[in-house]
Amino acid sequence: MTDTPKTGKDLARKPRGFPDHRESLLRAEAEIITRITEVYARWGFEALDTGAFEYVDALGKFLPDTDRPNEGVFALTDDDEQWIALRYDLTAPLARFAAENWQTLAKPFRRYAYGPVWRNEKPGPGRFRQFTQCDADTVGAPGAHADAEMIAMTAQAMRAAGAGDGEFVVRVNTRRLLDGVLSEAGVSDSGAKLTVLRALDKLDRLGLDGVEALLGEGRLDESGDFTKGAGLEEGARTRLLAFAEAGAGTRAETLANLEKAAGGSEAGKAGLDELTAITSGLAAFGVPESDVLIDPTIVRGLEYYTGAVFEAELLTETKDEDGNPVRIGSVGGGGRYDDLIARFTGQSVPATGMSVGVSRLVTAFALQQDLTARSGPIVVLNLNREDPSEALKLASELRAAGLRAEPYMGGSGMRPQMKYADRRGAPAVVIVGEDEIEKGVVTIKDLKAGAAEAAAIKSNEEYRAARPGQFEAPRADMVARLKEIVEAAE
């Protein structure tokens, strides 16, 4: 059975998870990207754009399901019958680019990138199939000092985006320390490891009792649903909870607590050494204690990261467009992944990187910092439908002077033109009729000032007599007067 062809309004529909963005949100997104990439560039990273499509086999383990090329990503066959896919993130393309150009690159290779990525996943509230990321990576740099630089730069990017003191934190851990404490607790099965790490990740939300239940037989939540636990003995649970609670007010205090809780395994010692070196690097970069904390509950991708991991989190509530309180939470993160290029070249290449979710930052800061605020164009009203030349000339003159302007191109009269200017967010309208041309003047209406003055007027008669915000100006003074209005509006 075939679907009935859709017609008319039924055709005007869009796929779920692909949001439409009008100018205000596009401006806010561009502003956030500019702020963050200026930090990246100042730290010595170069811009790179690798394009939207990659061959599916180049995505490797970055692909959610390699047995079904169009699951998890949006894939299609090229004209040579090879599968290509829209990029899932900005890291897989970097791996391919670095492998292709390794011999000619200055090493370490430090690049930043931004742009949309696409994921063929079920959309939901705050979860889209297309969204924007802003990444920075260093390929070919071993050692904790490179991780410390990435973490310090993440903190500075958060501040550049608009977060102030106490409004964000970057939480840091290392895969090596996690491996060490799991070994000491006798957790070796990969499934059990995943269960344990998911439990530790829920410490903030469930508290110690909830996490201990998940480390043991399991937990019954308020809805009556039961989550099976890791089935660990009491001694192992105690060791893991002590590890999870090791976080303290300063990085040095946390390291001291972790030394007691992480046991004596080689992996645990290597992890502590790594975090100690990162802490030293953060101090050298002058990163405040409140900006970056060592947090043993940070997990991130087990199959992806090989060393340090970190996550940037906004701590304050914001408000959505309807004024409702929203807690954004995690807005980005990253870590060390030393297998970045090995699948292409067969040689392990050290790498560390970060990714910032631009859309989440826009949600957090756009309304609060007026990043979306921008006056619309000055609208030149067209009072001569037969010959709009005068309106066209005036708009061209304003644009030549650096002002944003448009002549009204519709076929409506004076009142609808004024409504149009209001909907466009115009700071002012310019009116030139036969009387103005004869007198060598223009009539300007300052819409913002006019609205403020009109609020105090009580009758239509008074309004028509006062004409709030409206005045005449010599044609030679038009540009200067309008610039004053635009500057005041912005």
- Hey, which residues does 169 pair with through a beta bridge? 313
CA distance 82 to 55: 7
pLDDT at 471: 92
Give residues with Cβ within 8 angstroms of 365, minimum separation 6: 28, 32, 161, 162, 163, 318, 371
Domains within the chain, CATH numbers bracketed:
17-142 (3.30.930.10), 160-337 (3.30.930.10), 378-489 (3.40.50.800)
**Pairwise CA distance, residues 162 & 35, whole Å:** 9
Tokens 């501040």 belong to residue? 159
Q: Which tens digit of pLDDT belongs to each residue from 65-106?
A: 445 555 788 888 888 888 899 998 999 999 999 999 999 999
pLDDT for the residue 66: 47
CA nearest to 128, candidates 12, 22, 33, 14:
14
- The answer on pLDDT for 107 being more than 50 is yes
- Per-residue pLDDT, averaged over 432-461, amounts to 80
Question: Is 318 or 339 the better-scoring residue by pLDDT?
Answer: 339
Of 318, 309, 33, 294, the closest CA to residue 164 belongs to 318
Adjacency order of strands within the sheet including 46-47: 46-47, 109-118, 130-139, 351-357, 325-336, 308-319, 168-174, 292-294
Whether 463 has a pLDDT exceeding 80, the answer reads no
The mean pLDDT value for 370-398 works out to: 85
What local confidence, expressed as pLDDT, does residue 175 receive? 84
Look at the chain and count its residues.
490
Confidence of residue 1 (pLDDT cuts 50, 70, 90): very low
pLDDT confidence of residue 461: 63
pLDDT value at residue 444: 94
Helix, coil or strand: residue 90:
coil
Q: How much of the chain exceeds pLDDT 70, in percent?
A: 88
Top-confidence range, 250-264, 275-289, 346-360: 275-289
CB 301 within 8 A of CB 332: no
Q: What pLDDT was estimated at residue 206?
A: 84
How high is the pLDDT of residue 46?
A: 97
Residue 428 has pLDDT above 90, yes or no: yes
- Quote the DSSP letter at residue 438: H
pLDDT grade for 462, boundaries at 50, 70 and 90: low
- Assess whether pLDDT exceeds 80 at residue 41: yes
Q: Is the pLDDT of residue 465 over 60?
A: no
Nearest to 286 by CA among 156, 143, 165: 156
Return the pLDDT at 93: 93
Say which range, 13-17, 33-37, 352-356, 404-408, has the weakest mean pLDDT.
13-17
Q: What percent of the chain has pLDDT over 90?
A: 43
Mean pLDDT of 402-415: 92
CB neighbour burial string for 185-204, b if at least 16 within 10 angstroms, e if fewer: bebeeeebbebbbebbbbbe
Does 190 have pLDDT greater than 90?
A: no
Average pLDDT, the chain: 85
333 vs 150: CA distance, rounded Å = 10
Helix ranges (H only) for 265-413 are 266-284, 342-345, 358-365, 389-400
pLDDT tens digits, residue range 133-171?
Answer: 999 999 999 989 999 999 999 999 999 998 999 999 999
Among the listed residues 76, 77, 113, the one whose alpha carbon sits nearest the alpha carbon of residue 97: 113
Lowest mean pLDDT among 190-204, 237-251, 273-287, 339-353: 190-204
Task: Read off the pLDDT of residues 201-238 as tens digits, 9 standing for 90 and up.
Answer: 787 788 888 888 888 888 888 777 888 888 788 888 88
For residue 303, pLDDT over 70 is answered with: no
pLDDT at 394 over 90: yes
State the average pLDDT over residues 290-301.
86
* Number of Cβ within a 10 Å radius of residue 24: 16
What is the structure's pLDDT at 323? Answer: 66
- Split at pLDDT 50, 70, 90, the class of 368 is low
- Max Cα-Cα span within the chain: 95
Of 185, 265, 275, 273, nearest to 230 (Cα)?
185
Ranking 114-128, 315-329, 411-425, 469-483 by mean pLDDT, the lowest is 315-329
Cα→Cα distances 34→39, 57, 89, 113, 361, Å = 9, 33, 19, 12, 13
In angstroms, the CA 393 to CA 404 distance is 14
- pLDDT score at 61: 52
H or E stretch covering 428:
strand 428-431
Distance CA 204, CA 102 (A): 42
CA distance 478 to 483: 9
pTM score of the predicted model: 0.81
Instruction: For residue 440, give the DSSP letter.
Output: T
* Range scoring the smallest mean pLDDT among 109-123, 228-242, 330-344: 228-242
Averaged pLDDT for residues 380-394:
90
Using pLDDT thresholds of 50, 70 and 90, give the confidence band for residue 305: confident
The packing angle between helices 234-244 and 175-184, to 10°, is 160
- What confidence score (pLDDT) does residue 373 get? 54
- 112, 157 contact by CB (below 8 A): no
